[in-house]
Amino acid sequence: MNKYFAEMFGTFWLVLGGCGSAVLAAAFPDVGIGLLGVSLAFGLTVLTMAYTIGPISGCHLNPAVSIGLWAGGRFSANQLLPYIAAQLLGGILAGGTLYLIASGKAGFDVTAGFASNGYGAHSPGGYSLQAAFITEVVMTMMFLLVILGSTDKRAPAGMAPLAIGLCLTLIHLISIPVTNTSVNPARSTAVALFVGDWATAQLWLFWAAPIAGAILGALVYRVIGSEESTPTTQAA
C-alpha cells in the first residue's frame, strides 16, 4: 500500500502547491506571482515529489501519466485503477484543504473559478473548445515524451525530476491562457468538484484530451526510443 499512499500525498502536494499558488498568490496585491509564478509552482511540486516519492511509487501524480506509462510498456495494467484512485483522492483532499484556506478571506467566491480548467467563456483567453482540446492533447503528448525519455536507462542518471519538472513549467507557460492548463485529470477534478456548474460540465475534456495525448506520446516514444529501452514503473 505504500506506493498508493505515496501517490495520494504526492498528488495532494501537486494540487495544493499548483492550484494554491493560482488561487492564493497569483494576483495578490502588489506582489502577485502571476502566470510565471504559477507555472513554476506546478513544476516545483513535481520536482520535489519526484525526488521524494519517485523511488516508492514512480511519482506519477496524474491518471494520464499512469495510462501513458502503461501504453508505453512501463507500467502494469493491474495497478492502473488503484493508482488513479489514489491520485484522485489526494487531489480532492488538496482541493478541500485549499477551499478551507481560501474561504477564510472575506469576499471569497468559489464560482470565480478556483483554478478550474475551462474553454470558451471559461478559458482565461477565451479560446474555443477545439483550441483547448488540441492544446491539452499536444501538451500531454510532449509531457509523456519527456517522462519516457528522461527515465530511459540511456538518460543521465538522477536528472529525470529536473527535466520533468521543467517540462511541466514550460507547459503551463504555454497553455495557461488557453485552458488554465490541465494535462492532469486529477488536478482538474480536484478543483472542479468545488466549483460545480460549468467546471464539472466541461471536466470531460480535461479527462479525454490528456489521456489521448498521453497514449499518443507513449506510442511516439515506442517508435523513437525503442532501441535498448529498459522498462520501468518510475515516472520521475
- Model pLDDT for residues 70-106, shown as the tens digit of each residue: 999 999 999 999 999 999 999 999 999 999 999 999 8
Q: How many helices (H) and strands (E) would you count in the chain?
A: 9, 0
Nearest CA to 236 out of 142, 138, 146 is that of 146
Nearest CA to 215 out of 61, 66, 71, 58 is that of 71
CA distance to 17, 57, 132, 137, 145, per residue, from 221 (Å): 30, 22, 24, 15, 6
Q: What was the pLDDT predicted at 29?
A: 66
Q: What was the pLDDT predicted at 158?
A: 85
Helices assigned H by DSSP within 58-151: 63-71, 80-102, 129-150
Q: What was the pLDDT predicted at 235?
A: 55
CA distance to 63, 72, 79, 93, 161, per residue, from 52 (Å): 19, 24, 20, 19, 10
Give the chain's end-to-end CA distance (angstroms, integer): 19
Task: Average pLDDT across each block of 10 residues of the chain; the chain has 236 residues. List them in order.
Answer: 95 96 83 88 96 95 97 93 97 97 91 93 96 98 96 87 96 96 97 95 98 97 74 50
Record the cell numbers describing residue 139, joined without a space.
501538451
CB-neighbour burial class of residue 153 (10 A; exposed 0-12, middle 13-18, buried 19+): exposed
